[in-house]
């Protein structure tokens, strides 16, 4: 029996095969020099309304990049412009170095998975998957070989003769994925592809999608408003709000070093404590209310008296004896202890009339904390980050700088 490499059989580029085989860190110089996708100052205007504002982004070959943001932030419009279904008002789109901005969708060689799957109800699973190859008028034996291989990759070979209505949501999603990869596109776009699945199946499919992506070496642009899904799946995440990029970074960068208050608030649970800068430098000191002064790392210049927001994740907050040993401390009063299984969430009133949340393990620290307790709260400087309250437009330039630095 002839063994067919999926990447070659589905027509992925040699670069993708190379990438897949050698691993993400060993991408060839040629591949690294030409981004798989380049968005250059992409804008979409509907009358006076800017749905997408000057979005620029380079995506490396084989990278999994997620557009993440609240409803209406411009994710789908950006994706649809890449796919060719929405015309940009200005800006250019390049796929593997080729300018595709003025080309129709079918000439862009991009695979697309829609949220509602968009399967043809009157065609079998096999016919649905073979459809892009039929349109391309490939020879019949090749259509059969590629279609069966795509079905094998998504584990649906046994259901090839069924119709979409005879499949579960997860199976329909797999058909849509097989149809998107069957012609071996170097770039795959996915618009909330797991949105309709229940939590358990969704988590299973997240891992399946990543395996298939690695197997094919394909570049993926993924849209979701689920920040946990974005962190789990992505090499890099593009956080969007009001049509503009707020930050581009690895999941851990976004979590630990958010570019502004919006990103800090949007990614994971966090405490955002307002203060005033009293000494500047790379690790400025801020005052919180009148009773506490703490040092916070930052990557920007601050001026004395400026309003600033300290970002402190609940799992980094220490109480009582552990807090005494920390670099930064302040006093507070426990307002409420909320039991949530493995951990307890402790709400503490701190100087300046603000409330801080701590996440404590129920097997340890949490057992000794009670409502009404006066407690010392502590944290290490490295666990915090100082951000400002920049608007989407103002923070766009800092997001772009972050991208430049990441290249
Ligand atoms: P969601 O998560 O809800 O899908 P999104 O981030 O994908 O949101 P988009 O669908 O890209 O957001 O929409 C961005 C903005 O552009 C929204 O305010 C939307 O109302 C607006 N918009 C989208 N399409 C049009 C259109 N054809 N005409 C006018 N405004 C539009």
**Which contacts of 287-292 are long-range, i.e. CB under 8 A and separated by 24 or more positions?**
288/330, 288/350, 288/351, 288/352, 288/354, 289/350, 289/351, 289/352, 289/353, 289/354, 290/351, 290/352, 291/330, 291/331, 291/351, 292/329, 292/330, 292/331, 292/350, 292/351
80 CA closest ligand 1 atom index? 11
Ligand 1 pocket residue status of 77, Cβ below 6 Å: yes
Distance 51 CA to ligand 1 centre (A): 6
Section 178-201 average pLDDT: 87
| Statement: residue 29 has pLDDT above 70 | no
- Closest ligand 1 atom to 73 CA: 6
Ligand 1 midpoint to CA 67 (Å): 14
Atom of ligand 1 nearest to the CA of 52: 14
- Pocket test residue of 45, 52, 53, 74 for ligand 1, highest count of atoms within 8 A of CB: 74
Atom nearest to 77 CA in ligand 1: 11
d(CA 116, CA 142): 28
Instruction: For 120-153, write each residue's pLDDT tens digit.
Output: 999 999 999 999 999 888 999 999 999 999 998 8
Residue 63 Cα to ligand 1 middle (Å): 25
Describe the strand order of the beta sheet including 343-350 as a list of residue ranges. 318-319, 374-379, 328-340, 343-350, 354-361
Calculate how far, in angstroms, residue 72's C-alpha sits from the geometric centre of ligand 1.
5
Residue whose CA is at the smallest distance from ligand 1 atom 1: 71
- Over 70: is that where the pLDDT of 20 sits? no
Pocket mutation for ligand 1, best pick of 43, 44, 45, 46 (most atoms within 8 Å of C-beta): 46
Q: Which two tokens stand for residue 229?
A: 């899904």
pLDDT in tens, 333-357: 999 999 888 889 999 998 778 899 9
- Tell me the CA–centroid distance for residue 50 and ligand 1, in Å: 10
Q: Atom 20 (ligand 1): residue with closest C-alpha?
A: 72
Digit-coded pLDDT (tens) for 102-120: 999 988 989 999 887 789 9
Q: Which atom of ligand 1 is nearest to the CA of 225?
A: 2
Best residue for ligand 1 mutational test, from 44, 67, 70, 76 (most atoms within 8 Å of Cβ): 76
HSE-up (13 A, CA, CB side) for residue 376: 12
- Mean of the per-residue pLDDT values of the chain: 84
What's the pLDDT band for 81 if we cut at 50, 70, 90? very high
Q: 229 in helix, strand or coil?
A: helix
Task: Give the angle 235-392-283 at the CA atoms, nearest 5°.
Answer: 75
Ligand 1: atom nearest CA of 69 is 6
Mean pLDDT of 36-50: 95
Instruction: Please list, in sequence order, all residues whose beta carbon lies within 8 angstroms of the beta carbon of residue 214, skipping any fewer than 6 positions away.
Output: 20
Query: Can you tell me which atom of ligand 1 is nearest the CA of 44?
Result: 16
Tokens (6 digits) for 63: 């990278």
> Measured in angstroms, how far is the CA atom of residue 228 from the centroid of ligand 1?
22
Q: Whose CA is nearest to atom 17 of ligand 1?
A: 72
Place of tokens 């930052």: 298
Q: Which of 75, 83, 223, 238 to mutate to test the pocket of ligand 1 (most atoms within 8 A of CB)?
A: 75
195 lines ligand 1 (CB under 6 A): no
pLDDT of 404 strictly over 70 = no
Most confident of 161-165, 202-206, 358-362: 161-165
Spacing, Cα 78 to ligand 1 middle (Å): 10
DSSP bridge pairs for 245: 240
The answer to whether residues 317 and 377 touch, using CB atoms and an 8 Å cutoff, is yes
Cβ 224 under 6 angstroms from ligand 1: no
In the predicted model, is pLDDT for residue 399 greater than 80? no
Ligand 1 atom with the shortest distance to the CA of 47: 29
């Amino acid at each position: 029996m002839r063994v067919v490499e999926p990447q070659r059989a589905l027509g992925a580029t040699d670069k993708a095969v190379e990438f897949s085989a050698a691993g993400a860190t060993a991408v060839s110089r040629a591949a690294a020099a030409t981004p798989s996708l380049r968005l250059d100052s992409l804008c979409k205007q509907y009358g006076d309304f800017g749905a997408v504002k000057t979005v620029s982004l380079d995506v490396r070959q084989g990278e999994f990049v997620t557009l993440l943001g609240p409803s209406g932030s411009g994710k789908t419009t950006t994706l649809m412009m890449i796919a060719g279904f929405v015309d940009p008002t200005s800006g250019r789109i390049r796929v593997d170095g080729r300018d595709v901005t003025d080309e129709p969708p079918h000439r862009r060689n991009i695979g697309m998975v829609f949220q509602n799957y968009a399967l043809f109800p009157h065609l079998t699973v096999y016919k649905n998957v073979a459809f892009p190859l039929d349109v391309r008028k490939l020879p019949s034996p090749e259509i059969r070989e590629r279609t069966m291989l795509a079905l094998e990759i998504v584990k649906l070979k046994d259901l090839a003769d069924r119709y979409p209505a005879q499949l579960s949501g997860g199976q329909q999603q797999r058909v849509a994925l097989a149809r998107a990869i069957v012609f071996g596109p170097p770039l795959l776009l996915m618009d909330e592809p797991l949105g309709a699945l229940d939590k358990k199946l969704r988590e299973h499919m997240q891992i399946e999608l990543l395996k298939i992506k690695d197997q094919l070496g394909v570049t993926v642009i993924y849209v979701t408003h689920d920040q946990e899904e974005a962190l789990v799946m992505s090499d890099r995440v593009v956080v969007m709000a009001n049509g503009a990029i707020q930050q581009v970074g690895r999941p851990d960068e976004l979590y630990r070093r958010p570019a502004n208050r919006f990103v800090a608030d949007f990614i994971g649970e966090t405490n955002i404590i307002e203060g005033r800068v009293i000494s500047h430098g790379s690790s400025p000191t801020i005052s919180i209310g009148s009773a506490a002064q703490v040092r916070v790392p930052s990557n920007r210049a601050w001026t004395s008296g400026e309003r600033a927001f300290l970002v402190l994740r609940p799992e980094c907050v220490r109480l009582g004896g552990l807090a005494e040993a920390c670099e930064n401390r302040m006093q507070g009063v426990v307002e409420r202890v909320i039991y949530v299984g493995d951990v307890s969430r402790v709400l503490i009133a701190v100087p300046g009339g603000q409330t801080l949340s701590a996440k404590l393990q129920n097997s340890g620290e949490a057992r000794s904390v009670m409502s009404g307790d006066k407690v010392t709260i502590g944290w290490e400087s490295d666990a915090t980050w100082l951000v400002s309250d920049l608007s989407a437009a103002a923070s766009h330039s800092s997001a772009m700088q972050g991208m430049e630095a990441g290249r």
